[in-house]
Copies of this chain bind each other. A is one copy, B any other.
Amino acid sequence: MKELKDYIKLHGKVANSSTLKVDSFINHQIDPKLMMAIGEEFKKRFQDKNINKVLTIEASGIAIGLATAFAFNVPLVFAKKKKPSTMNDMYNATVYSFTKKESYNVCVSKEFLNENDKVLVVDDFLAMGNALVGLKEILNEAGAEFVGAGIVIEKGFQEGGKFLRENGIHLESLAIIDSLENNTIKFKD
């Protein structure tokens, strides 16, 4: 997605050889026009798939999820990291974060996912793919169909994308970073 890559070139900051900061337009400050355009782009890429729900994880997935769900005109569900006191019956998965070096639980109320759902999963970053695998577990538990995954920025130098594609997942990444070495952002192709 050219507009996104232009943003990344202009506003992205290389923190180190594995960390790209996009907090001025994606995950702390958000550019709403770019975000809605990202939703439209996912719509284009998955439009013939009869998606009836979008799933993501709080917190940084929510804006992407809303933009995408609005483009498809279907509900967004976001998985929670803490079980709300008012939630009883839910699907759970454990996700290990390599960035934070800790595991966390994600949960979705059973009210909002079932075997009739054809679900597009979206998230801001794809690195090792653990968050996606966690959400896939939740979809399996619900009997829902994991139609595909829409990722804003894939770290092409980490294993997640390769692993997921080899496992037959329809993965669409709007920008794939090949390398952050020497303080330089290199895109794939």
**Copies of this chain:** 2
Interface string of A67-95 (1 = CB under 8 A from B): 10110011111101000111100000000
Closest-CB distance, A105 to chain B (whole angstroms): 15
**Distance to closest chain B CB from A56 (angstroms):** 10
Do B111 and A24 touch (CB < 8 A)? Answer: yes
- A163 close to chain B: CB less than 8 A: no
Contact B73 A29 (CB under 8 A): no
Q: Tell yes or no: A32 within 8 A of B by CB.
A: yes
- Determine which residue in A24, A31, A66 has the highest number of CB atoms from chain B within 10 A of its CB, and name it: A66
A23 to B78, CA, bound (A): 10
A15 at the interface (CB under 8 A from B): yes
The A interface, classified by DSSP as helix, strand, loop or mixed, is mixed
Looking at the complex, which one of B19, B23, B35, B62 makes contact with A59 (CB distance below 8 Å)? B62
Query: Please, how many residues of chain A have a CB less than 8 angstroms from a CB on the other chain?
Result: 39
CB pair B112 A29 closer than 8 Å: yes
A33 near B66 (CB under 8 angstroms)? no
| Contact call B86/A30, Cβ cutoff below 8 A | no
| Bound complex: CA A74 to CA B66 (Å) | 17
Separation of A23 and B99 alpha carbons in the complex (Å): 30
Q: Find residues 101-121 in chain A having any chain B CB closer than 8 Å to their own CB.
A: 108-109, 111-112
Asked if A86 and B15 make an inter-chain contact with CB atoms under 8 angstroms apart, the answer reads yes
A76-B29, A80-B28 are contacts. A66–B67 as well, Cβ < 8 Å?
yes
Asked whether, in the complex, the Cβ of B62 is within 8 Å of the Cβ of A23, the reply is no
| 28 pairs, A vs B, C-beta closer than 8 Å | A19-B86, A21-B86, A23-B84, A23-B109, A24-B112, A28-B77, A29-B75, A29-B76, A29-B77, A29-B109, A30-B77, A30-B78, A31-B75, A32-B66, A32-B69, A32-B73, A32-B75, A33-B73, A35-B66, A36-B70, A59-B80, A62-B62, A62-B63, A62-B66, A63-B65, A63-B66, A66-B66, A66-B67
